[in-house]
């Protein structure tokens, strides 16, 4: 499986869209890996986890063919993870010779409601007919294409936020953001899924070195490490598992030198925009 990190920032981006703090000024000056767009992960060029406002930017920067996406898993309805307005352009006079004419969107009821609201005024029937909507909930098993996906509950501030356990051809990917401390029922569902260990785990690291507080809807490296210990005890992580932290907020100074220190101290790989892994 090819895993491409098209964007690696939290909602506001790095530098943040309206911010002039020291971190944001430094990121604008240094550029390179210090510039981070809103989070999106692309698997094998055909399965996207989330579709942020920066998806078009991702296509320009990283040669991502957005028309090749056959399946879209949406974690929750927050705007940085689902920007539905772009889908009114997926066909008709706006797009020709698309790689995959049909797109299947898997999302919770709130997200599908937002899709309908944002596309109602401009959506052409021809385009709408090629976009199939599937309402999903946590703790379901989905089958599409070569993929099996187990949906899990996240600890986040939206209705029915989800995490994803993705399997394809013997490879296993666990996608853990946006979330704070994993809910007990999610850990129990992961116990039921069982081993072998995942090939890759993506961790929410919005807080970078910061400690999660009670009720937090995101994690930092200390909680990521505790979560990894729990997953290891469940047989879902071991020495061969790639452990990636991503979804960074500008408030926690995720500059390249800071994340290099985080990698050295915690042993996780810090994702950057455009990073590609093979598992």
CATH number of the domain at 216, please: 3.60.15.10
pLDDT at 157: 84
What is d(CA 142, CA 258) in angstroms, rounded to the nearest whole number?
38
In whole angstroms, give the CA distance from residue 80 to residue 10. 7
Sheet holding 2-7, edge to edge: 131-135, 103-107, 71-73, 47-49, 40-43, 2-7, 275-278
Distance from C-alpha of 190 to C-alpha of 152, rounded to nearest angstrom: 8
Eight-state DSSP code of residue 129: T
Domain span at 110: 2-278
Tokens of 202: 């993506």
Give how many domains the chain has, as a whole number: 1
pLDDT at 215: 74
d(CA 176, CA 24): 26
Element (H, E) at 222: helix 221-233
Q: What span, in angstroms and rounded, lies between the C-alpha atoms of 75 and 219?
A: 16
Nearest 5°: the CA angle 165, 139, 134 is: 85
Query: Which 3 state secondary structure label does DSSP give 5?
Result: strand
Q: What is the pLDDT of residue 212?
A: 78
Count other C-beta atoms under 10 Å from residue 198's C-beta: 26
Q: What span, in angstroms and rounded, lies between the C-alpha atoms of 219 and 177?
A: 9
211, 240, 215, 238: which is closest to 224 by C-alpha?
A: 211
Kindly give the parts of the chain with pLDDT less than 70: 214
Rounded to whole angstroms, the Cα distance separating 232 from 160 reads 26
């Amino acid at each position: 499986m090819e895993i491409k990190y098209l964007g690696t920032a939290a909602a506001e981006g790095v530098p943040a869209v309206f911010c002039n703090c020291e971190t944001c000024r430094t990121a604008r000056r240094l550029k390179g890996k210090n510039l981070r767009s809103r989070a999106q992960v692309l698997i094998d060029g055909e399965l996207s986890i989330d579709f942020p406002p920066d998806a078009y930017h991702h296509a320009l920067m990283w040669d991502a063919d957005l028309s090749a996406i056959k399946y879209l898993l949406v974690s929750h309805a927050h705007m940085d993870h689902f920007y539905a307005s772009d889908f009114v352009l997926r066909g008709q006079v706006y797009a020709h010779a698309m790689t995959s004419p049909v797109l299947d969107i898997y999302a919770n009821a709130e997200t599908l409601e937002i899709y309908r609201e944002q596309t109602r005024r401009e959506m052409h029937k021809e385009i709408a007919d090629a976009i199939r909507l599937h309402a999903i909930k946590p703790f379901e098993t989905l089958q599409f294409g070569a993929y099996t996906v187990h949906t899990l509950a996240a600890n986040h501030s939206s209705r029915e936020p989800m995490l994803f356990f993705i399997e394809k051809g013997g490879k296993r990917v666990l996608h853990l953001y946006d979330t704070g401390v994993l809910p007990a029922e999610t850990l129990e569902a992961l116990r039921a899924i069982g081993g072998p260990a995942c090939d890759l785990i993506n961790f929410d690291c919005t807080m970078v070195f910061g400690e999660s507080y009670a009720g937090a809807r995101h994690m930092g490296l200390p909680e990521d490490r505790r979560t990894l210990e729990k997953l290891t005890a469940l047989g879902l992580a071991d020495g061969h598992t790639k452990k990636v932290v991503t979804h960074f907020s500008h408030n926690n100074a995720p500059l390249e030198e800071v994340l290099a220190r985080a990698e050295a101290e915690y042993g996780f790989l810090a994702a950057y925009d455009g990073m590609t892994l093979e598992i």
